[in-house]
Structure 1
Amino acid sequence: MNFNFLSPVTDAVLAHNELLSMQALGRKLKIHSSQNGIPDLEGVSIAIVGVLENRNDVNYIGEEFQLNEIRKSFYALFPGSWNTTIADLGDINRGESVEDTYFALKTTVSILIQKKIIPVILGGSQDLTYAIYRAYDNLMPMVNIVNVDSRFDLGDSAKPIKNNSFIGKVILDEPYNLFNYATIGYQTYFNSQEEIDLMERLYFEAYRLGEISNDITLAEPAMRDANLVSIDLGSVKASEVSLKQRLSPNGLDGKEICAISRYAGISNKVSAFGIFEYKPSYDDEVTAMLVAQMLWYFIEGVNCRIKDDNFLDDINHQKFTTLADTEQLVFYKSTKTGRWWVEIPFLSNVNNKLKKHTLLPCTHKDYIDACNGKIPARWYKAYQKNSL
Structure 2
Amino acid sequence: MNFNFLSPVSDLVLAHNELLSPQALGRKIKIHSEQYGIPDLESVSIAIIGVLENRNDVNYIGEAFRLDEIRKSFYGLFPGSWNTTVADLGDIEKGESVDDTYFALREVISILIKKNVIPVILGGSQDLTYANYRAYDELIPMVNIVNIDAKFNLGDSTKPIKNNSFVGKIILDQPYNLFNYSTIGYQTYFNSQEEIDLMESLYFESYRLGGVSKDITIVEPVLRDANIVSVDLTSVKSAALSLNQKYSPNGLDGKEICAIARYAGISNKVTSFGIYEYKPSKDDDMTSMLISQMLWYFIEGVNFRVKDDDFSDDKNYQKFITLVESQELVFYKSNKTGRWWIEIPFLSEVNNKLKRHTLLPCMHQDYLDACDNKVPDRWYKALQKNSV
Q: How would you bin the TM-score normalised by the shorter chain?
A: over 0.9
Cα drift, residue 324 of structure 1? 1.5
Show the counterpart of 1:242.
Answer: 242
Q: Work out the CA distance in 1 between the residues paired with 2:231 and 2:368.
A: 31
**1:328 equivalent in alignment to 2:325:** no
Show the counterpart of 1:271.
Answer: 271
Pairs within 5 Å for 1:23-34:
23-34=23-34
SS at match of 1:315: coil
Provide Cα deviations, 1:175-222, integer angstroms capped at 9, x if missing partner.
Answer: 000000000000000000000000000000000000000010011000
Provide Cα deviations, 1:14-62, integer angstroms capped at 9, x if missing partner.
Answer: 0000000000000001000001110111111000000000000000000
Q: Work out the CA distance in 2 between the residues paired with 1:289 and 1:182.
A: 27
Q: Work out the CA distance in 2 between the residues paired with 1:93 and 1:59.
A: 20
Over 3 Å counting, the alpha-carbon distance change for 1:67 and 1:201 in structure 2 is: same
Cα drift, residue 327 of structure 1? 1.4
Structure 1 counterpart of 2:132, which letter?
I
What is the Cα-based RMSD across aligned positions, in Å?
A: 0.7
Show the counterpart of 2:311.
Answer: 311
Cα drift, residue 350 of structure 1? 2.8
Show the counterpart of 2:64.
Answer: 64
Show the counterpart of 1:92.
Answer: 92
Cα drift, residue 353 of structure 1? 3.3
Q: Work out the CA distance in 2 between the residues paired with 1:69 and 1:333.
A: 43
Cα drift, residue 345 of structure 1? 1.0
Provide Cα deviations, 1:61-117, integer angstroms capped at 9, x if missing partner.
Answer: 000000000000000000001001110000000000000000000000000000000
Cα drift, residue 133 of structure 1? 0.2
Q: Work out the CA distance in 2 between the residues paired with 1:356 and 1:266.
A: 25
Provide Cα deviations, 1:247-302, integer angstroms capped at 9, x if missing partner.
Answer: 10000000000000000000000000000000000000000000000000000000
Structure 1 counterpart of 2:29, which letter?
L
Cα drift, residue 325 of structure 1? 2.1
List runs of 5+ in structure 2 lacking aligned partners. Answer: none
SS at match of 1:161: coil
Structure 2 counterpart of 1:50, which letter?
G
Show the counterpart of 2:81.
Answer: 81
Cα drift, residue 328 of structure 1? 1.1
Show the counterpart of 1:293.
Answer: 293
SS at match of 1:341: strand
Over 3 Å counting, the alpha-carbon distance change for 1:56 and 1:167 in structure 2 is: same
Pairs within 5 Å for 1:81-230:
81-230=81-230
SS at match of 1:23: coil
Cα drift, residue 323 of structure 1? 1.1
Identical-residue share of aligned pairs (%): 77
List runs of 5+ in structure 1 lacking aligned partners. Answer: none
Q: Work out the CA distance in 2 between the residues paired with 1:93 and 1:141.
A: 30
Q: Work out the CA distance in 1 between the residues paired with 2:219 and 2:65.
A: 31
* Conservation of the 8 A alpha-carbon contact between 2:181 and 2:205: yes
Cα drift, residue 349 of structure 1? 2.4
* Conservation of the 8 A alpha-carbon contact between 2:346 and 2:357: no
TM score, norm. by length of structure 2: 0.99
Over 3 Å counting, the alpha-carbon distance change for 1:58 and 1:379 in structure 2 is: same
Cα drift, residue 352 of structure 1? 4.3
TM score, norm. by length of structure 1: 0.99
Number of residue pairs matched?
A: 388
Q: Work out the CA distance in 2 between the residues paired with 1:313 and 1:247.
A: 49
Q: Work out the CA distance in 2 between the residues paired with 1:365 and 1:186.
A: 22
